[in-house]
Amino acid sequence: MQTSSSLSSSSSDSKPQMKEHCDHQVDCLKMIQLILDGEATDQQLARLKANLVSCQPCIQMYHLEQEVKELLTKRMEKKCCPEQLVATIKSKILTFS
Partner 1 sequence: MSDTPTRDDQDRTGMPDHGGSTGSDQLLPDGDTVEQPSADTPARRYTDEQKYLVFNKEFMPHIDSMYNFAFRLTTDEDDANDLVQDTYLKAFRFISSFEQGTNAKAWLFRILKNSFINDYRKKSKEPAKVDYQDVETTYNSEDAESEHTVDLRAESVSDLIGDEVATALNSLPVDFRTVIILCDIEGFTYEEMAKILDIPIGTVRSRLHRARNLLKEKLRDYASSMGYNEESEE
Q: Give residues in contact with partner 1 (CB under 8 A).
A: 25-26, 29-30, 33-34, 37-39, 60-61, 63-69, 71-73, 75-82, 85-86, 88-89, 92-93, 96-97
Q: Half-sphere exposure of 27 toward its Cβ, with a 13 Å CA cutoff?
A: 6
* Spacing of C-alpha 78 from chain mean position: 21
In angstroms, give the least distance from the CB of 55 to partner 1: 13
CB 9 within 8 A of CB 19: yes
Minimum gap (Å) between residue 72 Cβ and partner 1: 4
CB of 92 to partner 1, least distance (A): 6
